[in-house]
């Protein structure tokens, strides 16, 4: 059987999604289950198994030559384990071994969800055509990933580019990670909302006190709401500028729910970047919103499988496997 597809898994705290993906990034078969995040390790693995069983039931399954997994982190790709913060039952869970077993021996590549989003944006999204990119996911947390020299740079454990936990405020607030003044502690959705509430911002009549509601108030001219987004933008700009200066990135792509604030976030972000990205080689740095949406995790996991070197190495991938299709990543 000619293997010209990859299988992909996107594992998060609320859902586990799977797909069979072709060399153009099209999701040909999809399956999804809610994550039983409060249950034990085997219950969560059971949901993964259900998704995989649904994919395996497809007549296209035999064409899959590798499996890519993007998971909520931390992940440890070198050990093949995951310990997602929002899935307490999985601590050092041997996901790669278990998925390898459940797929009948497909070669598996594991990356963090921020790295997966980065792979998707580089393959088919806002970072396409850029050889050096930083992609950020700004939502309940702040994650990210790097493309360097035209290639995804997951790092040894699959977590490289995790911009949410670099310090941008030396004596700032304590972060749950143990450090102080992390980008995430200032720029995540919950922290944007908390800072607005602390400053006296009042939610609308519907009681919605999320960052999206703060963004709506900012668009309507509420000064406290605007200030909370400006502080988040400042933290992001400092982190992006530091990354650009270290690694000479050409573009920063920003996705996640908080990016939905649009110009409320992006206008001050561009302004603060001019303050922080000052050296000649980072002044041309571009900032763009992510475009891949909710399928980014699956598309990115597939991209990692295409390009990691595991593709076409599995037991079922012998005859006919000819390497990455022309349409897949460079
Ligand atoms: Zn932190």
| 323: pLDDT strictly greater than 60 | no
Ligand 1 center to 102 CA (angstroms): 35
Q: Has residue 325 been placed in a domain?
A: no
Ligand 1 center to 215 CA (angstroms): 24
**Residues 205, 137 share a domain:** yes
Q: Has residue 178 been placed in a domain?
A: yes
**What's the CATH code of the domain at 51?**
3.30.420.40
**Residues 240, 138 share a domain:** yes
**Residues 103, 72 share a domain:** yes
Q: Has residue 119 been placed in a domain?
A: no
Q: Return the pLDDT at 312.
A: 54
Ligand 1 center to 165 CA (angstroms): 4
**Residues 218, 144 share a domain:** yes
Ligand 1 center to 167 CA (angstroms): 7
Per residue in 215-273, pLDDT tens? Answer: 999 999 999 999 999 999 999 999 999 999 999 999 999 999 999 999 999 999 999 99
Q: For the residues 36-46, what does the mean pLDDT come to?
A: 96
Ligand 1 center to 163 CA (angstroms): 9
**Residues 171, 271 share a domain:** yes
3-state secondary structure labels for all residues of the chain: CCCCEEEEEEECCCEEEEEEECCCCCEEEEEEEECCCCCCHHHHHHHHHHHHHHHHCCCCHHHEEEEEEEECCCEECCCCEECCCCCCCCCCECHHHHHHHHCCCCCEEEEEHHHHHHHHHHHHCCCCCCCCEEEEEECCCEEEEEEECCEECCCCCCCCCCHHHCECCCCCCECCCCCECEHHHHHCHHHHHHHHHHCCCCCCCCCCCCHHHHHHHHHCCCHHHHHHHHHHHHHHHHHHHHHHHHHCCCEEEEECHHHHHCHHHHHHHHHHHHHHCCCHHHCCCEEEECCCHHHHHHHHHHHHHHHCCCCCCCHHHCCCCCCCCCCCCC
Ligand 1 center to 184 CA (angstroms): 6
Mean pLDDT of the chain: 92
Domain interval for residue 72: 5-112+293-317
Which of 81-95, 231-245, 314-328 has the weakest average pLDDT? 314-328
Ligand 1 center to 67 CA (angstroms): 31
pTM assigned to the model: 0.91
Which of 2-11, 27-36, 305-314 has the weakest average pLDDT? 305-314
Q: Has residue 170 been placed in a domain?
A: yes
Ligand 1 center to 116 CA (angstroms): 20
Per residue in 52-61, pLDDT tens? Answer: 999 999 999 9
**Residues 166, 94 share a domain:** no
Q: Has residue 77 been placed in a domain?
A: yes
Q: How many domains does the chain have?
A: 2
| 318: pLDDT strictly greater than 50 | no
**Residues 145, 235 share a domain:** yes
């Amino acid at each position: 059987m000619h293997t010209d597809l990859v299988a992909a898994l996107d594992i998060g705290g609320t859902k586990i999604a799977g797909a069979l993906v072709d060399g153009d990034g099209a999701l040909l078969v999809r399956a999804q289950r809610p994550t039983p995040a409060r249950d034990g390790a085997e219950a969560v693995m059971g949901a993964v198994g259900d998704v995989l069983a649904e994919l395996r039931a497809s007549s296209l399954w035999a064409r899959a030559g590798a499996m890519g997994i993007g998971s909520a982190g931390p992940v440890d790709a070198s050990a093949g384990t995951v310990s997602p913060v929002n899935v307490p039952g999985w601590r050092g869970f041997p996901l790669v071994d278990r998925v390898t077993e459940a797929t009948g021996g497909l070669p598996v590549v594991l990356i963090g969800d921020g790295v997966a989003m980065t792979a998707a944006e580089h393959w088919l999204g806002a970072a396409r055509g850029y050889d050096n990119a930083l992609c950020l996911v700004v939502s309940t947390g702040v994650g990210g990933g790097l493309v360097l020299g035209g290639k995804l740079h997951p790092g040894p454990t699959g977590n490289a580019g995790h911009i949410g936990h670099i310090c941008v405020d030396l004596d700032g607030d304590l972060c749950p990670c143990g450090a102080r003044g992390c980008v995430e502690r200032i720029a995540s959705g919950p922290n944007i909302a908390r800072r607005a509430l602390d400053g006296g911002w009042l939610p609308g009549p519907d009681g919605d006190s999320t960052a999206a509601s703060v963004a709506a108030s900012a668009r309507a001219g509420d000064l406290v709401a605007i200030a909370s987004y400006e502080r988040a933008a400042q933290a992001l700009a400092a982190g992006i500028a530091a990354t650009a200066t270290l690694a000479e990135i050409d573009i920063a792509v920003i996705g996640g729910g908080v990016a939905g604030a649009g110009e409320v976030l992006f206008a001050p972000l561009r302004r603060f970047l001019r303050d922080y990205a000052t050296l000649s080689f980072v002044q041309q740095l571009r900032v763009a919103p992510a475009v891949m949406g909710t399928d980014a995790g699956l598309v990115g996991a597939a991209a990692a499988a295409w390009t990691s070197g595991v593709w076409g190495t599995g037991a079922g991938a012998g005859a006919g496997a000819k390497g990455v299709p022309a349409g897949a990543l460079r």
